[in-house]
Chains A and B, each alone.
Chain A
Amino acid sequence: MNGNKKNPLKQVLAIRGMGATLTAFAGLIMIYLAFGLINSTVFTGQNIMNLLRSMSKYLLIGIAQSYVLITGNIDLSIGSMVGMSAMIAATLMTLGVNPILAIVITLICCLAVGVVNGFLVGKFKLPPFIATLGTMFVTRGIAYMVNGNRNTDAIATGVGKETADNFQNFFYYGTTLGIYNTFWIAIVVFLIFFFLLSKTRTGRHIYAIGSNVDAAKLSGVNVVATTTKAYLVSAICSCIVGLILCAQAGMGNMEAGNMYEMYGVAAGVIGGVSPLGGTGMLLGTLAGASVWQTLENGLNMVGAQVGIQRIVIGIIVVFAVLLDVVVRTGQIGKKNKNAK
Chain B
Amino acid sequence: MRKEVFRMERVTYKEQGITLLEDFNFNVLEGEIMGFIPFNSHGMASFLRLLKTNLPLDDGYIYYHEEIINSWKGAKQNSNRITVIQDKTCLVKGMTVADNIFVLRQGFKQHIIKPSVLNAQLEPFLKDIDMDLLGEAYAEKLTIFERVVVEILKGIVAGHKLIVLCEISTLISGNELKKLHKIMRHYAKQGHSFIYIGSHFEDIIQVCNRAVLLSNGRIEKILQPREMYVDNLFSLTKDYDKLVRGYLENKKAGSPKGKLVCKLYAEINSMKEPLEFVVISGECLVIQSLDNQIYHELLQILTNSRETAFYGNAWLGDKEFRLQELNTNRNFAVIQEMPTKTMLFTELSYMDNLCFNLDKRMRSVWARGNIRRSIRTEYAPILGDEVFNMTIEELSEGQKYQLVYTRILLQKPKIVFCIQPFKGADMKHRMYIWELLEKLLEKGIAVVILAVNLADTLSLADRLICIDKNKEQIEYLQEEFAALPMLAPWLYLYREDSV
Q: Is the CB of B380 within 8 A of A1?
A: yes
Q: Is the CB of A204 within 8 A of B388?
A: no
Query: Using an 8 Å CB-CB cutoff, how does the interface string of A189-231 with B read, 1 for contact, 0 for none?
Result: 0000000001111011001101110111111101000000000
Query: Using an 8 Å CB-CB cutoff, how does the interface string of B307-348 with A read, 1 for contact, 0 for none?
Result: 000000000000000000001111000101000001111111
Q: Contact partner of B342 among A10, A214, A339, CB < 8 A?
A: A214
Closest Cβ–Cβ distance, residue A271 to chain B (whole Å)? 16
Is A306 engaged at the interface, CB distance under 8 Å to the other chain? no
Contact flag A215-B343 (CB < 8 Å), given A1-B380, A1-B385, A199-B367? yes
Q: Is the CB of A216 within 8 A of B357?
A: no
Is B363 engaged at the interface, CB distance under 8 Å to the other chain? yes
Is B78 engaged at the interface, CB distance under 8 Å to the other chain? no
Closest Cβ–Cβ distance, residue B421 to chain A (whole Å)? 14
Interface of chain B residues 347 through 376 with chain A (CB within 8 A): 347-349, 352, 356-357, 359-360, 363, 366-367, 376
CA distance A337 to B223 in the complex (A): 34
CA distance A297 to B210 in the complex (A): 75
Q: Chain B CB within 10 Å — which of A200, A208, A215, A218 has the most?
A: A218
Is A14 engaged at the interface, CB distance under 8 Å to the other chain? yes
Query: Using an 8 Å CB-CB cutoff, how does the interface string of A101-115 with B read, 1 for contact, 0 for none?
Result: 000000000000000
Using CB atoms, name the residue of chain A closest to B77.
A338
Contact flag A201-B344 (CB < 8 Å), given A338-B56, A340-B56? no
Q: Is the CB of A201 within 8 A of B347?
A: no
CA distance A214 to B15 in the complex (A): 33
Q: Which residues of B contact A203 (CB under 8 A)?
A: 366
Q: Contact partner of B327 among A1, A6, A15, A220, CB < 8 A?
A: A220
Contact flag A199-B366 (CB < 8 Å), given A215-B336, A217-B304, A278-B346? yes
Query: Using an 8 Å CB-CB cutoff, how does the interface string of A217-261 with B read, 1 for contact, 0 for none?
Result: 111101000000000000000000000000000000000000000
CA distance A36 to B226 in the complex (A): 85
Q: Which residues of A contact B330 (CB under 8 A)?
A: 220
Q: Is the CB of A218 within 8 A of B348?
A: no
CA distance A16 to B349 in the complex (A): 7
Q: Is the CB of B377 within 8 A of A211?
A: no
Q: Contact partner of B345 among A6, A207, A339, CB < 8 A?
A: A207
Q: Is the CB of A218 within 8 A of B343?
A: yes
CA distance A85 to B486 in the complex (A): 69
Number of interface residues of B (CB under 8 A): 37
Q: Is the CB of A337 within 8 A of B389?
A: no
Is B33 engaged at the interface, CB distance under 8 Å to the other chain? no
Q: Contact partner of B55 among A4, A214, A219, A338, CB < 8 A?
A: A338
Q: Is the CB of B56 within 8 A of A204?
A: no
Is A2 engaged at the interface, CB distance under 8 Å to the other chain? yes
Q: Is the CB of A201 within 8 A of B56?
A: no
The A-B contact count (CB < 8 A) is: 95
Q: Is the CB of B347 within 8 A of A218?
A: no
Q: Which residues of B contact A16 (CB under 8 A)?
A: 347-349, 352
Q: Contact partner of A220 among B329, B344, B385, CB < 8 A?
A: B329
Q: Is the CB of A215 within 8 A of B344?
A: yes
CA distance A10 to B391 in the complex (A): 13
Q: Contact partner of A1 among B329, B359, B377, CB < 8 A?
A: B377
Query: Using an 8 Å CB-CB cutoff, how does the interface string of A9-53 with B read, 1 for contact, 0 for none?
Result: 010001110000000000000000000000000000000000000
Q: Is the CB of B347 within 8 A of A337?
A: no
Q: Is the CB of A204 within 8 A of B327?
A: no
CA distance A199 to B366 in the complex (A): 5
Using CB atoms, name the residue of chain B closest to A202.
B366
Closest Cβ–Cβ distance, residue A71 to chain B (whole Å)? 12
Closest Cβ–Cβ distance, residue B404 to chain A (whole Å)? 9
Is B80 engaged at the interface, CB distance under 8 Å to the other chain? no
Closest Cβ–Cβ distance, residue B261 to chain A (whole Å)? 18
Is B386 engaged at the interface, CB distance under 8 Å to the other chain? yes
Q: Contact partner of A208 among B16, B304, B348, B376, CB < 8 A?
A: B348
Q: Which residues of B contact A215 (CB under 8 A)?
A: 336, 342-345
Q: Contact partner of A210 among B56, B347, B389, CB < 8 A?
A: B347
Closest Cβ–Cβ distance, residue B218 to chain A (whole Å)? 20
Is A285 engaged at the interface, CB distance under 8 Å to the other chain? no
Q: Is the CB of B336 within 8 A of A218?
A: yes
Contact flag A3-B356 (CB < 8 Å), given A217-B304, A222-B328, A278-B348? no
Q: Contact partner of A3 among B15, B363, B388, CB < 8 A?
A: B388
Using CB atoms, name the residue of chain B closest to A340.
B56
Q: Is the CB of A220 within 8 A of B357?
A: yes
Q: Is the CB of A2 within 8 A of B385?
A: yes
Is A73 engaged at the interface, CB distance under 8 Å to the other chain? no
Q: Contact partner of A14 among B56, B367, B389, CB < 8 A?
A: B389
CA distance A2 to B345 in the complex (A): 27
CA distance A201 to B376 in the complex (A): 19
Using CB atoms, name the residue of chain A closest to B305.
A217
Closest Cβ–Cβ distance, residue A212 to chain B (whole Å)? 5
Q: Which residues of B contact A3 (CB under 8 A)?
A: 380, 385-386, 388-389
Is A94 engaged at the interface, CB distance under 8 Å to the other chain? no
Q: Is the CB of B343 within 8 A of A200?
A: no
CA distance A33 to B17 in the complex (A): 46
Is A151 engaged at the interface, CB distance under 8 Å to the other chain? no
Q: Which residues of A contact B380 (CB under 8 A)?
A: 1, 3
Q: Is the CB of A212 within 8 A of B389?
A: no
Q: Is the CB of A218 within 8 A of B327?
A: yes
Query: Using an 8 Å CB-CB cutoff, how does the interface string of A254-284 with B read, 1 for contact, 0 for none?
Result: 0000000000000000000010011100000
Is B19 engaged at the interface, CB distance under 8 Å to the other chain? no
Using CB atoms, name the residue of chain B closest to A212.
B345
Q: Which residues of B contact A6 (CB under 8 A)?
A: 389
CA distance A214 to B336 in the complex (A): 9
Q: Which residues of A contact B357 (CB under 8 A)?
A: 219-220
Closest Cβ–Cβ distance, residue A330 to chain B (whole Å)? 8
Closest Cβ–Cβ distance, residue A179 to chain B (whole Å)? 29
Q: Is the CB of B347 within 8 A of A279?
A: yes
Q: Which residues of B contact A1 (CB under 8 A)?
A: 377, 380, 385
CA distance A220 to B329 in the complex (A): 7
Interface of chain A residues 151 through 174 with chain B (CB within 8 A): none
Q: Which residues of B contact A204 (CB under 8 A)?
A: 348, 352, 356, 359, 366
Is B303 engaged at the interface, CB distance under 8 Å to the other chain? yes
Q: Which residues of B contact A337 (CB under 8 A)?
A: 15-17
Closest Cβ–Cβ distance, residue B121 to chain A (whole Å)? 37
Q: Chain A CB within 10 Å — which of B330, B345, B357 has the most?
A: B345
Q: Is the CB of A218 within 8 A of B349?
A: no
Closest Cβ–Cβ distance, residue A134 to chain B (whole Å)? 23
Closest Cβ–Cβ distance, residue B158 to chain A (whole Å)? 27
Q: Which residues of A contact B345 (CB under 8 A)?
A: 207-208, 211-212, 215-216, 278
Interface of chain B residues 404 through 461 with chain A (CB within 8 A): none
CA distance A36 to B72 in the complex (A): 61
Across the A-B interface, the 6 shortest Cβ-Cβ residue pairs: A3-B385, A278-B347, A211-B345, A211-B347, A337-B16, A201-B359
Pairs A–B under 8 Å by Cβ, sample size 15: A1-B377, A3-B380, A3-B389, A14-B349, A204-B352, A204-B359, A208-B348, A210-B347, A211-B345, A211-B347, A212-B342, A215-B342, A215-B343, A215-B344, A218-B327
Binding site for A on B (CB under 8 A): 15-17, 55-56, 303-305, 327-330, 334, 336, 342-349, 352, 356-357, 359-360, 363, 366-367, 376-377, 380, 385-386, 388-389
- Give 18 new A-B contacts, CB below 8 A, not counting A3-B389, A215-B345: A1-B377, A4-B376, A200-B366, A207-B348, A207-B352, A208-B348, A210-B347, A214-B336, A215-B336, A217-B303, A218-B336, A220-B328, A220-B329, A220-B360, A278-B347, A278-B348, A337-B15, A338-B15
